[in-house]
Amino acid sequence: MADIRVLIVEDDPFIAMDIESAVADQLGDAVELIVVESVAEARRMTAKPLACALLDIDVVGGKTFDVASVLQDSGTPFAFVSGSAPHEVPAALRGVRFLRKPFSTREVAAFVKSAVAPSDLESAQG
């Protein structure tokens, strides 16, 4: 099992692949990428510790705001990666990093690198 678990919640398979690729390029083989397309799946995945998460807002089953709240309460770093407008985010979540679609894979990689603990990065990179 990988040392670093990253949750990606995205219902467009092509965008999910772009995000996966950016994260894998940044963190290598030690990362476990958990890609889900629905709010229900995302809720289940937050039951285990995560290094960070990247959430689209509008996915299968609704909006990911309740998942974001769980992540926020647990202290798990996350960012919204969405085509939605930042003002649509509830006030309690407005301080969260927001990467607007179309995003740069460099932005995604930079967020993940900053979110993952330095000790986890060192062990991931050998």
Q: Where are the domains of the chain?
A: 4-124
pLDDT on residue 76: 96
Mean pLDDT, contiguous 10-residue spans, the chain (126 residues): 85 96 88 96 95 97 97 96 94 95 92 80 56
- Output the average pLDDT for the chain: 91
**Tens of pLDDT, residues 44-74:** 999 999 999 999 999 999 999 999 999 999 9
At the fourth CATH level, which superfamily is domain 4-124? Response regulator (3.40.50.2300)
Residue 45: per-residue pLDDT: 97
CA separation for the pair 99, 79 (Å, rounded)? 7
How is residue 102 annotated by DSSP? Answer: S
Contacts 24+ apart (CB under 8 A), 90-96: 90/65, 93/65, 93/68, 93/69, 96/68, 96/72
Tell me the C-alpha distance between 16 and 103, whole Å: 12
Q: For the CA atoms of 92, 79, 46, 83, what is the dihedral angle to 10 degrees?
A: 90
For residue 125, the model assigns a pLDDT of 55
